């Protein structure tokens, strides 16, 4: 899979670890930055990640910041993105199955590396269930549906 990953300064170490983990799993990974722990603004990286996913350059995105909250809000400003903030694997699975999430967000200050990897595995293994969830997901990008 083609996966884009981005963070702010608080999550740059977790981003590096997850990038390497995804590469080891055989995925093509686009690291959208930042490259250092110098202070940056999470909306800039959230918007960049959302654009790459919305344009189809990447199939999925991984958004990281200190809590995961700010960057998930930024990603969700793009109507083509459905970013789910998760902290354990079951919510990551449900994000794919029920919400057809195409971006996963996590907080580096709240989620350890092993748990983040488990969430990522569950997210990428999940499949959208469709059915009753389909019309609901359509409304997320098209409120008039």
Tell me which residue range forms the domain holding 129: 2-141
pLDDT tier for residue 114 given thresholds of 50, 70 and 90:
very high
pLDDT at 100 over 80: yes
For the chain, what is the radius of gyration of the CA atoms? 14
Total of domains in the chain: 1
CATH number at residue 98: 3.40.1400.10
Q: Which residues are annotated as a binding site for D-ribulose 5-phosphate?
A: 8-9, 66-70, 99, 109, 132, 136
pLDDT tier for residue 138 given thresholds of 50, 70 and 90:
confident
Q: Which residues are catalytic?
A: 65, 98
How much is the pLDDT for 140? 84
For residues 21-34, give the mean pLDDT.
98
How much is the pLDDT for 41? 97
């Amino acid at each position: 899979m083609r996966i884009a990953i981005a963070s702010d300064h608080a999550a740059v170490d977790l981003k590096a670890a997850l990038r390497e983990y995804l590469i080891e799993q055989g995925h093509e990974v686009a690291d959208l930055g930042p490259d250092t722990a110098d202070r940056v603004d999470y909306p800039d990286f959230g918007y960049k990640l959302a654009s790459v996913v919305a344009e189809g350059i990447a199939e999925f995105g991984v958004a990281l910041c200190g809590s995961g909250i700010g960057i998930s809000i930024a990603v969700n400003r793009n109507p083509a993105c459905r970013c789910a903030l998760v902290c354990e694997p079951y919510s990551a699975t449900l994000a794919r199955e029920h919400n057809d999430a195409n971006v996963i967000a996590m907080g580096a200050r709240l989620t350890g590396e092993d748990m983040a990897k488990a969430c990522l595995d569950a997210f990428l293994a999940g499949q959208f269930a469709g059915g009753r969830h389909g019309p609901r997901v359509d409304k997320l990008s098209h409120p008039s549906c």
